[in-house]
Amino acid sequence: MKDSNGDNETSPTVRVYDLTGRLVRVFSGNDKVLFWNGMDDNGREVSSGVYYFEVNGGMRKKIIYVR
């Protein structure tokens, strides 16, 4: 995911959820490019499947993770 608002001064928070709505990963900071390696916040690899990422509690998009 790449930030298209290069001048945005707020630090984005990106949350990754599984299909049941369980929060699996949180990213925050000033990075302009985000790479999710398929690990949850506890360092465990998640299962292949459909996940959703949400930016700053607003925009939500579907992603497919395949091992």
Indicate the pLDDT class of residue 27, thresholds 50, 70 and 90.
very high
Task: Say how many C-beta atoms besides its own lie within 10 A of residue 15's C-beta.
Answer: 17
Q: Rounded CA gap, 62 and 12, in Å? A: 18
Structural domain including 19 reads 13-65
Q: Rounded CA gap, 32 and 41, in Å? A: 20
Please report whether residue 47 resides in a domain: yes
Q: What is the mean pLDDT of residues 24-39?
A: 88
Please report whether residue 3 resides in a domain: no
pTM: 0.77
Predicted confidence (pLDDT) at residue 2 exceeds the cutoff of 50: no
Torsion of CA 44, 52, 23, 39, to 10 degrees: 10
Query: For position 32, what pLDDT does the model report?
Result: 77
Indicate the pLDDT class of residue 31, thresholds 50, 70 and 90.
confident
- What total of structural domains would you count in the chain? 1
